[in-house]
Structure 1
Amino acid sequence: MRIPTAIKLHKASKVLELHYGPDEQYRLDAEFLRVHSPSAEVRGHGTPVLQHGKLGVGLTGIEPVGQYALKLIFDDGHDSGLYSWDYLHQLARDHDRLWAEYLAELERAGKSRDPSESVVKLMR
């Protein structure tokens, strides 16, 4: 289990900063964390529910859950995901791949990151 040595919430920039010692640091933006929430709402009880329209979402707080996780509180009202230390480290380590997969999935589904935008796919 990889437990961060330091955790910093930057509300203005909407970033959660994780330190795992002096040589391993990550910055995860709130949108990324929100769309990868481990909650049942997102994981869909086995069938993941694609999250869209989360561009600009922020973190309003973080709370420790025992010795094993963080509860992240988002400004869109989502607060039911418990991010275990292992899951947070996995998200940080695999950020680039996970983000690219998410963007590709949005495109396939005809969805947008922007909450005020609807994407229309034209049939040809």
Structure 2
Amino acid sequence: MNAPQEIRLQPQRDILVLVYENQTFELSAEYLRVYSPSAQVRGHGTGNAILQTGKRHVKITDLDTVGNYALKISFSDGHDSGLYSWDYLCDLAQNHAAHWQDYLHRLHHANASRDIQPA
């Protein structure tokens, strides 16, 4: 998949807009953060993914293109190590509903929350 024709960050810094030739997608910072392609989130091998919790209010602090193949997204919680390839971003956009339901399902089964829990 090619890069989006346009990438915009909403003024509140909580929604990333990806504009392709025939479609426009809006992806929340929370969704992008919990599906970061970094080893910190995905783990260091199959089945080692780390469930991300407490990310409901995370914001996007910076966007940088990496060569002609990816977008680096930095978040307000300090996470900035994931490189979102154009193919991966397209998958997140096109399969948003399924990915989001899977995330909510995993949170429920872990008795975890999208909100930061008090210490």
TM-score interval, normalised by the smaller of the two chains: over 0.9
Alignment check: 8 A CA contact 1:10 1:17 kept: yes
1:86-97 maps to which residues of 2 (within 5 A)?
A: 86-97=87-98
DSSP 3-state at the match of 1:111: coil
CA RMSD of aligned residues (A): 1.3
2:14 is matched with 14
Distance 1:58 1:108 in 2: 26
Distance 2:55 2:31 in 1: 9
DSSP 3-state at the match of 1:45: coil
DSSP 3-state at the match of 1:103: helix
Alignment check: 8 A CA contact 2:30 2:57 kept: yes
> In structure 2, what residue type is equivalent to 1:4?
P
Distance 1:117 1:100 in 2: 25
Identical counterparts, % of pairs: 50
Alignment check: 8 A CA contact 2:13 2:61 kept: no
Per the TM alignment, residue 10 of structure 1 is displaced from its structure 2 partner at its CA by: 1.2
How many matched pairs?
Answer: 117
2:102 is matched with 101
Distance 2:103 2:2 in 1: 24
| CA deviation profile, 1:28-73 (whole Å, cap 9, x unmatched) | 0000000000000000112100000101000011001011000001
Q: Which has the larger Rg? A: 1
1:70 is matched with 71
1:31 is matched with 30
TM-score, L = length of structure 2 = 0.94
> In structure 2, what residue type is equivalent to 1:10?
Q
DSSP 3-state at the match of 2:33: helix
Distance 1:88 1:39 in 2: 13
TM-score, L = length of structure 1 = 0.90
Alignment check: 8 A CA contact 1:19 1:26 kept: yes
Alignment check: 8 A CA contact 1:53 1:113 kept: yes
